[in-house]
Structure 1
Amino acid sequence: MKDKLRNIGPKSAAWLHQVGLRTREDLVEAGPVEAFMRVKRAGFRPTLNLLYSIEGALRDCHWQDVPQERRGELVAAAEAAIDDLPPPRHAPPAGPVTTTVLTADTVAPRPDDHQPD
């Protein structure tokens, strides 16, 4: 990020730069939700704090001063955009994890486990 913006630390600035958002004008044009989604689609794992930080940067206020009503709007828009994302291509969605315990291995020692006297 070329411009030093309020709320945008080095890590967030690097993420935004990597997704093509290099200036305040780029952020204004994209808007907070699209900027957040670009970071997410790039494979990073942003939290809602990034979304609030971008909004705060655009409003020139601390991210904690973004009104609750506006935060709710941002979260709803981000969740809708996340729901529209296609599933990952590299692997199918994860299913439930199950474990199997083989009782034969837990009941008696195996013959090759014999310890000499």
Structure 2
Amino acid sequence: MGEPKGDRLYVNLGASQVRRRLKAFGHGVRKVQSIGRNQSLIIHTATGQHLTELTDKFADVGHANRESELNEPVENLRNLGPASAAWLRDAGITSIKELRNVGAATAYLMVKRAVPRASLNLLWALAAGLKDRDWRDLTDAEKQGLIAKLDQ
């Protein structure tokens, strides 16, 4: 039994989450499989309106037609839990690449506007995560530097 035939859509969600979103969709989806942490491959034969509906289901998390075009989701950033990742998504930051581009301080301010209860621990987590460090390892000087960026 070979690989199902069809086009490929790469998405920034785990396979079980993709299957939940696709429940009762059924328009040409042949297979869903995991391709890494919080990333999946959908093999489909959807065209036209059905293809638009399929891609719309994943617009909030990021999708691409080639695996090389799919940016790593914010959920994969070290130090972030599901709530923090959801806050970033709500603020419009869906990938680690986008987070790098805006920077930890700006991303924190974007989240803080939408979620006033977000604490400075989020800022520490973002800054350290972008350097692949544990947030508790940030020095006081690094934290003060981040706070100074907030005031600019």
TM-score by length of 1: 0.63
CA distance in 2, matches of 1:44, 1:16: 13
Q: Which has the larger radius of gyration?
A: 1
**CA-atom RMSD in angstroms:** 1.5
Aligned residue number for residue 48 of structure 1: 120
User: Residue 87 of structure 2 contacts residue 115 of structure 2 at CA under 8 Å; is this kept in 1?
Assistant: no
Mapped partners of 2:77, 2:88: distance in 1 = 12
Three-state SS of the structure 2 residue aligned to 1:35 is helix
The Cα of 1:58 is off from its aligned counterpart by 0.3
Matched, 1:10 2:82: yes
- Does residue 69 of structure 1 match 2:141? yes
- Shift >6 Å, 4+ stretches: none
State the alpha-carbon separation in 1 of the partners of residues 115 and 78 from structure 2: 24
**How many aligned positions are there?**
80
* Distance across 2 between alignment mates of 1:43 and 1:53: 16
How far off is 1:23 after superposition?
0.7
The CA distance in 2 between the partners of 1:43 and 1:50, in whole Å, is 11
Flag the structure with higher helix content: 1
Q: Structure 2, unaligned stretches of length 5 or more?
A: 1-60, 62-72
- Normalising by structure 2, report the TM-score: 0.49
What is the SS of the residue equivalent to 1:21?
coil
SS of equivalent to 2:103: helix
Work out the CA distance in 1 between the residues paired with 2:115 and 2:96: 22
1:34 aligns with 2:87: no
User: Which residue of the partner structure matches residue 20 of structure 1?
Assistant: 92
Per-residue Cα deviation, 1:2-57 (whole angstroms, up to 9, x for no partner): 24110010110000011111111011001011000000112432101000000011
